Amino acid sequence: MHIPHFPEMALFQTDIEIPGNQNQQGKVIVTYNPPSLTDTNPNTAIGVEGAGDIPPLQKPKRLEIPLQPDTKHLKRFTVTMHQSPTKGYDMGAAYNDWFSACFGYRVVLAYLGTNTRSVLGTLAPSKRNNESWWSIWQQELTLPGKSNKLLDRWLVPLSLAYLVLNAVSWCHAQIQAGTSAVQAIALTGAVLAALWSAVNLFVTRRHEARIGFADCAPFLVISQTSVENVSARLTGGEEMDGTKFRPNIVVSGVESAFEEDFWAELGVGTGGNVRLLLTGNCVRCQSLNVDFQTGKMGVGESGTVLKKLMKDRRVDKGARFSPVFGRYSFLGRGSVGQRMRVGDEVQVLRRASEYTVTGEVDLRSLLVLGLS
């Protein structure tokens, strides 16, 4: 369920309670804030057949969900988001009934667990960067710890040479054992091809970026300056609610609005030890117009945000009819296990000279910049 089609989802807020030690269980806390009884907004939010206005309730409702539920007795089923399927677990009647009562129609709460799904289109870094199998293997075989550039450079060819020499030695042994040269060479070639296909598939799959229930990427980066630009477009002193852009990384101190359109890589923290690879634009929809107080499409200025952005933010040639706000991002491979914190310094490590085009892979426009 996505908020532009089910705007009543805006009435739910979530929080996470992290366990203090191994003996405690974490929680996801969901609060349902019903719309005001005096709401006279004529718009209705019909998400599925038979769904009408959300029943007006006077008091908020609260639900606690285990952060890591036991999946042994949960039904496993397929969840598809944007044509990218994965598996999830049906959390059962206790949770489904609570949400169904709030929505006014039947819904299912799904738990992801350890399942993942494929990244859409060319958003994955390996696809956006058009990485070759050689580059992928080189990254997989890079030794941990401090990198030795000379060894890292030759590790892949040395590994392949070692594999080929062993294959030749095995082929020679087969011939010595009485197998004809033609049969030995054919058998060796078949074994090598099968081994190569299996290992290359494993390495490529291991290198591939994967996501869970996130929309299109693990991170969405925006700038506070761009949010302020949208606020300036609204009349009557109304300010744009930045949470409607659904970012999980907001960068402040950016000189000009929408500068992030051209960010290709960011370094976060001391020395830029966390690398964020920005691979594509976030094209926007009716979710920007949702009123979080009523769970319906906004009226007045709050209901015109998408239209206002349409005037000058349709900058992605691959999505001509949708405005762009923010960038989808993935964690650089060497940054796994690192931490980002609120207040960390952000450095722009790479910029693009042209707008990213959704669905198009072209690195010719990338410019490499120093740490500045």
Say what the pLDDT of residue 195 is: 79
Position 128 confidence tier, pLDDT thresholds 50, 70, 90: low
Q: Residue 342: is it exposed, middle or buried by C-beta count within 10 angstroms (0-12/13-18/19+)?
A: exposed
Does residue 253 have a pLDDT over 50? Answer: yes
How many whole angstroms separate alpha carbon 191 and alpha carbon 290? Answer: 58
What average pLDDT score do residues 295-324 get?
A: 94
324-334: buried (b, 16+ CB within 10 Å) or exposed (e) per residue?
Answer: bbbbbbbbbee
What average pLDDT score do residues 346-355 get?
A: 93
- Write the DSSP string, 126-161: HHHTT--HHHHHHHHTPPSSS--HHHHHHHHHHHHH
The CA distances from residue 194 to 134, 174, 190, 298, in Å, are 18, 18, 6, 58
Position 359 confidence tier, pLDDT thresholds 50, 70, 90: confident
Token pair 């956006």 is found at 128
Does residue 311 have a pLDDT over 70? Answer: yes
Does residue 133 have a pLDDT over 80? Answer: no
Position 271 confidence tier, pLDDT thresholds 50, 70, 90: confident
100 vs 214 pLDDT, higher one: 100
